Amino acid sequence: MSILKKYQYAIELLDKNKIQECLHDDYAFTNYSQGKIFTKSEVVKWAMSGDVKREKVRILFENEDVAVEHAFVSFNDGNKQAVLAFYRFKDGKIISLETGATNLKH
């Protein structure tokens, strides 16, 4: 199973241990819409909050170094986005994630 598929499954199940296993210790999530960079522990905490609900998740490309994914995401505050994500891998784990998001009408 690919790194990204393992991560998608862990997120879907809200499996904290599996999420942590998929993320490199030096993981960084660059969220341009918020102007922030989140660490591994911050992302795991956010994922476990149940705030993020993903639908129609598609892996557009993946190899041993990088991956590109598209998904429709909704949040507890009612916001919805189409999200394009770019992942980088190191040592068989996700080391970085950058996203571009388009707000969708509710």
Q: Is the pLDDT score of 42 beyond 80? A: yes
E strands along 13-65, which residues?
23-31, 36-39, 52-62
- Looking at residue 65, its pLDDT comes to 97
The H or E element spanning position 92 is none
Q: Please tell me the total count of domains within the chain.
A: 1
pTM above 0.95, yes or no: no
Residue 68, CB-side half-sphere exposure with 13 Å CA sphere = 4
- Looking at residue 85, its pLDDT comes to 95
Q: Is the pLDDT score of 58 beyond 90? A: yes
Q: Tell me the one-letter amino acid at 3.
A: I
Which domain range does residue 8 map to? Answer: 3-104
Token representation of residue 103: 């707000």
